Amino acid sequence: MKLISSHDKHGLMILIGIFVILIAGLFGLEAKVRHDLKNPFEYHLHVQEDLAEKPEDPESMGDGSISSLDEFSYVVDISKHWQNDPDTPLMTYGAQYDNSIYNGSDYDIVNWSVVIEVPERNITIDSSWNGTWEYDKQASRIMFTPDERIETIRSQESATYGAIMISRELMEFSDVSFSGCKYRPITRYLLFWLIIILLVAWVTSAIAFFRYLIREENHRRYTERLNNVISQTMSTFANFIDTKDRYTKGHSARVSYYSQKIAEKLGMNEEQVRDIGYIGLMHDCGKLAIPGTILNKPGKLSDDEFEVMRNHTTEGDRVLKDFTAIDGIRDGALYHHERYDGGGYMKGLKGEEIPLVARIICVADALDAMNSDRCYRDHLSRDVILKELEQNKGTQFDPQIAQIMIDMIENGEVFVGDGPSED
């Protein structure tokens, strides 16, 4: 964006900063989900003694064992059992072991398995459901791996599975290891939805901000164009004035320039300085009403001619009567030949009765007159100009403004005499 203001840059940086924080939060959350998935936990679930007791009637239902640690509950229930070949020394038991794991945590459990320590004995897995049972005789353990139906134990839900096993004795599942990975979809985190809400708010704010920037840019371009139109119209009009007075070519533009320099030194703001420039351009517009024979007369004017010439101030005031957009533009034209000591024309105002813009233009006008060649003399030297300004402080010129001009000439900000600013 062209010429984006520092204020707008600040807003843009804040928007970018918030976006980075939100996206970082989202990635951080995603990383936590992945971390949970890659870091399996293992719980040792010990069957509670009182619940592990078998009922008197071996055929009865509900023979259950429950263990829980933290958020998980484990239940194994020998729902039925029977004796095989009771009259032989190789008598075995057949039993149906119904298992259930309840997930009371806020996570889903995935990639899980159960390892059950069993006494050393011959065990045959007759049949199973919802997963695979593997008996490792060497290690005296049975490992259960779920199939796809229960591979995920959702939060607050149970997974059930079981097997029918043949063994020498009925087994108690007394030492159970439950391992798996915690998984909570990112959408189940409150933080996720908080970030999403903030991102929506961010997008809304960003759209509003960029629309504001576009509006500002359009406004800036419009204002710039308008200022150019005004400035060029003023300059064109000033050229008309200076064209009529061939001895003072470029005079209005130079008075405008010097006036702006003085205004800057007086601490005026950018808008005031710009307006002073326009006032400087228009200060002699009344000359359009003065006959060219008088304006361009070589040599000194007669008293009558000078009387006509003086009228360029009042004529300027008249020409500019409808120009109300710039404060002081009429004052500049009407009072720029007033003297600080009250000896000027047309009103004979004195000191600070003379509007500030007119006092500024008075010094700028006199400086350009001294610094320009006339048909009857060359421009004055730098020393003479400085001397004139000094001597006329408080008489012709406002002393403060004259001193500002003296300072600018002395420190090289304004070139006069044979300086490089000469036309």
Least distance from Fe ion to the Cβ atom of residue 416, Å? 19
Contact 125, 135 (CB under 8 A): yes
Residue showing tokens 């406002």 = 398
Nearer of residues 284 and 338 to Fe ion, judged by Cβ: 284
Nearer of residues 133 and 397 to Fe ion, judged by Cβ: 397
DSSP letter assigned to residue 96: E
**Interaction of residue 77 with Fe ion, rule CB under 5 A:** no
**Which region, judged by CB under 5 A, interacts with Fe ion, from 268-276, 281-289, 345-353, 384-392?**
281-289
**Interaction of residue 63 with Fe ion, rule CB under 5 A:** no
Site for Fe ion in 351-410 (CB under 5 A): none
Contact 7, 173 (CB under 8 A): no
Cα–Cα distance, 255 to 252 (Å, whole number): 5
Half-sphere exposure at residue 228, Cβ-oriented, CA atoms within 13 angstroms: 6
Least distance from Fe ion to the Cβ atom of residue 238, Å? 13
**Interaction of residue 338 with Fe ion, rule CB under 5 A:** no
Cα–Cα distance, 363 to 358 (Å, whole number): 9
Least distance from Fe ion to the Cβ atom of residue 359, Å? 14
**Which region, judged by CB under 5 A, interacts with Fe ion, from 87-95, 147-155, 213-221, 280-288?**
280-288
Other Cβ atoms less than 10 A from the Cβ of 161: the count is 22
**Which region, judged by CB under 5 A, interacts with Fe ion, from 106-114, 181-189, 215-223, 284-292?**
284-292
**Which region, judged by CB under 5 A, interacts with Fe ion, from 124-132, 163-171, 279-287, 315-323?**
279-287
Name the β-bridge partners of 78: 63, 97
Instruction: Give the CA angle between residues 368, 373, 378 to the nearest 5°.
Output: 120
Least distance from Fe ion to the Cβ atom of residue 309, Å? 9
How are beta strands 141-146 and 158-167 bridged, if at all? Answer: unpaired
**Interaction of residue 275 with Fe ion, rule CB under 5 A:** no
Least distance from Fe ion to the Cβ atom of residue 241, Å? 10
Among 242, 284, 338, 368, binds Fe ion (CB under 5 A): 284
Least distance from Fe ion to the Cβ atom of residue 221, Å? 36
Contact 385, 375 (CB under 8 A): no
**Interaction of residue 245 with Fe ion, rule CB under 5 A:** no
Least distance from Fe ion to the Cβ atom of residue 289, Å? 13
- At a CB cut-off of 8 Å and minimum separation 6, what does 238 contact? 252, 253, 256, 281, 282, 285
Residues that bind Fe ion (CB under 5 A): 284
